[in-house]
C-alpha cells in the first residue's frame, strides 16, 4: 500500500507538471492580482454538501438584479479561483453584463498541484466527488442571488476544461451550455494512469462510443447543453486531437454528425458550427492557430477585448470569455 501511495503521489505531480508547468508542489497557489473588483470575490465556507472537499468562491457584481445568469469558472492546474477569474476576463464581463460567478477551487489534499480530478471516476460520477460539490455551489448561488436557474453555464481551462466536460455529462439538466478550453472528452480517463495518454496523443473513439459515455453518465432524456470548444493547434500539452474527439462526442450526443454545417472566423481564427435538425447550433469549435496550451485573451478596453496575460493565459488577440458570453447571450 505504501508503494502504491508513493507511486500515485509521483504520478499526480507529473500530471500536474505536464498540464500547467507546475511550481513547487506543496506551495499553495497565491493570488497575484488585486484590481478593485478582486475584493468582491468571496469565499463561501458553508455552501452545502461537499463530497469533493472543494472550496467555493463567488463573485456578485454590485447591484446585481435577480433573474440574471450564473457562470461556473474552473481554473487549471497550479492556478487559483481569484487569479483565473480575473485573468481570463470573466470578472470584468460579470461587471459589464451583470451576471454572477461561481469559482470552485481545488485543495492541496485532493491534488498536489490543485488540478481538478477530471480523470478520477469518483470525482466525475453523478452524485459523488467533485462534480457533486460544484452542483452544491450552483444551488447555493442560485438561492443567494435569485439567479435564473435555466441560465447556468460552465467553463474551464485544461483540467478545468476536463471537469467542465464531466459536469456537462453528469448534470446536463443543470447547464444551458458549456465552454471547454484546452480540455478533454468525458471519460477519456477514469483513473490517473490513463490521464497521460488522453492528454497526448489523445484517445480515438468513434462518435457513438464517445456519445455513449455521456449518455450513460445520467438518466437525462431532455435537451442537452450546447457546447463551445476552444483549442490551440500548437498545444503539445493537451493535444489538439482532443478538440476533434470533443466535437465527435457532443455532436453525437446532440444527434447530429461531426461535419460542420457552417464556418466563419473569429478574429481571423477558424470557427465551425454544428447544427441540429432544426438548424440550431448545438456545438461550435474555435481553433486558435499557433496558440499553445492556455486560455485565449485579448487585453484592452475595446469591443470584444477582455482578460490579461498570465501563466497559461495567452494574448492571442481574441478573448474566449467574451465570445462565450456572446454565444450564451450574457450581454
CA distances from 130 to 66, 178, 263 (A): 28, 17, 36
The share of the chain scoring above pLDDT 90, in percent, equals: 87
Residue 58, pLDDT above cutoff 80: yes
Q: Is the pLDDT of residue 21 over 80?
A: no
Percent of the residues in the chain that have a pLDDT greater than 70, as a whole number: 88
Q: Count the residues in the chain.
A: 331
Predicted local distance difference test score (pLDDT) of residue 4: 39
Instruction: Give the other-Cβ count within 10 Å of 226's Cβ.
Output: 23
Higher pLDDT, 11 or 91: 91
| pLDDT tens column, 95-109 | 999 999 999 999 999
| pLDDT the model gives residue 222 | 98
How much is the pLDDT for 40?
Answer: 86
Maximum distance among all alpha carbons in the chain?
56
Q: Residue 28 CB: number of other CB atoms within 10 A?
A: 10
Q: Distance between CA 282 and CA 236 in Å, rounded?
A: 27
Over 50: is that where the pLDDT of 77 sits?
yes
Can you give the pLDDT at residue 3? 40
* pLDDT reading at 229 higher than 70: yes
Q: Which three cell numbers stand for residue 244?
A: 476533434
* 3 state SS of 276: coil
234-272: per-residue pLDDT in tens? 999 999 999 999 999 999 999 999 999 999 999 999 999
Q: Is 285 among the residues known to form the active site?
A: no
Query: Of the candidates 290, 283, 215, which has an alpha carbon nearest to the alpha carbon of residue 243?
Result: 283
**133-162 residue pLDDT tens:** 999 999 999 999 999 999 999 999 999 999
Non-local CB neighbours of 216 within 8 Å, separated by 6+ positions: none
Query: With 0-12 CB in 10 A as exposed, 13-18 as middle and 19+ as buried, what is 277?
Result: exposed
Kind of pairing between the strands at 100-105 and 55-59: antiparallel
**Residue 12 pLDDT:** 53
With vertex at residue 322, the alpha carbon angle to CA 318 and CA 326, rounded to the nearest 5 degrees, is: 125
- What global pTM score does this model have? 0.92
Q: How far is 94 from 101, CA to CA, in rounded Å?
A: 7
**What is the H or E stretch that residue 140 is in?**
helix 129-145
Task: For the beta carbon of residue 307, count every other beta carbon within 10 angstroms.
Answer: 27
Condensed to tens digits (0 to 9), the pLDDT of residues 285-302 reads 999 999 999 999 999 999
Neighbour-count burial of 316, counting CB atoms closer than 10 A to its CB (0-12 exposed, 13-18 middle, 19+ buried): buried
73, 102 Cβ separation under 8 angstroms: yes
Average pLDDT score, the chain: 92
From the candidate CATH numbers 3.40.50.740, 3.40.50.300, 3.40.190.10, 3.40.50.1820, the one assigned to the domain spanning 2-327: 3.40.50.1820
And the C-alpha cell for 2? Answer: 505504501
Among candidate residues 16, 100, 133, 158, the one labeled active-site is: 158
pLDDT at 131 over 50: yes
Which of 8-22, 59-73, 193-207, 283-297 has the lowest average pLDDT? Answer: 8-22
**Per-residue pLDDT reduced to its tens digit, 22-37:** 443 344 454 444 344 4
Contacts of 297 (CB under 8 A, 6+ apart): 87, 88, 89, 306, 307, 308, 309, 313, 314, 315, 316, 318, 319, 320, 321
> Which of 13-27, 209-223, 271-285 is predicted with the least confidence, judged by mean pLDDT?
13-27
Least confident segment among 11-25, 46-60, 81-95, 316-330: 11-25
- pLDDT tens by residue, 33-52: 434 444 389 999 999 999 99
Domain ranges of the chain: 2-327
CB atoms closer than 10 angstroms to residue 168: 27
Amino acid at each position: 500500500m505504501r508503494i502504491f501511495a508513493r507511486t500515485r503521489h509521483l504520478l499526480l505531480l507529473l500530471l500536474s507538471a505536464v498540464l500547467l508547468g507546475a511550481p513547487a508542489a506543496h506551495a499553495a497557489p497565491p493570488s497575484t492580482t488585486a484590481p478593485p473588483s478582486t475584493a468582491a470575490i468571496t469565499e463561501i465556507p458553508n455552501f452545502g454538501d461537499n463530497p469533493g472537499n472543494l472550496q467555493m468562491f463567488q463573485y456578485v457584481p454590485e447591484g446585481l438584479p435577480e433573474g440574471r445568469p450564473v457562470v461556473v469558472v474552473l481554473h487549471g492546474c497550479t492556478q487559483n479561483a481569484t487569479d483565473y477569474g480575473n485573468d481570463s476576463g470573466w470578472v470584468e464581463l460579470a461587471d459589464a453584463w451583470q451576471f454572477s460567478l461561481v469559482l470552485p477551487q481545488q485543495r492541496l489534499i485532493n491534488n498536489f498541484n490543485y488540478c481538478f480530478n477530471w480523470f478520477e471516476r469518483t470525482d466525475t460520477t453523478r452524485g459523488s466527488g467533485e462534480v457533486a460539490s460544484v452542483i452544491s455551489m450552483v444551488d447555493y448561488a442560485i438561492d443567494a442571488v435569485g439567479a435564473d436557474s435555466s441560465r447556468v453555464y460552465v467553463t474551464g481551462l485544461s483540467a478545468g476544461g476536463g471537469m467542465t466536460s464531466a459536469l456537462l455529462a453528469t448534470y446536463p439538466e443543470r447547464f444551458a451550455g458549456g465552454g471547454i478550453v484546452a480540455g478533454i472528452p468525458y471519460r477519456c480517463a477514469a483513473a490517473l494512469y490513463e490521464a497521460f495518454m488522453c492528454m497526448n496523443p489523445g484517445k480515438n473513439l468513434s462518435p457513438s462510443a464517445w456519445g455513449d459515455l455521456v449518455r450513460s453518465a445520467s438518466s437525462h432524456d431532455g435537451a442537452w447543453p450546447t457546447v463551445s470548444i476552444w483549442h490551440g493547434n500548437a498545444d503539445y500539452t493537451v493535444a489538439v486531437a482532443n478538440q476533434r474527439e470533443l466535437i465527435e462526442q457532443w455532436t453525437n450526443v446532440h444527434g447530429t454528425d461531426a461535419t460542420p454545417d457552417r464556418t466563419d472566423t473569429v478574429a481571423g481564427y477558424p470557427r465551425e458550427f454544428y447544427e441540429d435538425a432544426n438548424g440550431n447550433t448545438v456545438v461550435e469549435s474555435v481553433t486558435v492557430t499557433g496558440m499553445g496550451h492556455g486560455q485565449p485573451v485579448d487585453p484592452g478596453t475595446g469591443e470584444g477585448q477582455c482578460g490579461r496575460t498570465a501563466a497559461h493565459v495567452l494574448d492571442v488577440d481574441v478573448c474566449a470569455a467574451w465570445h462565450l458570453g456572446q454565444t450564451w447571450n450574457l450581454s
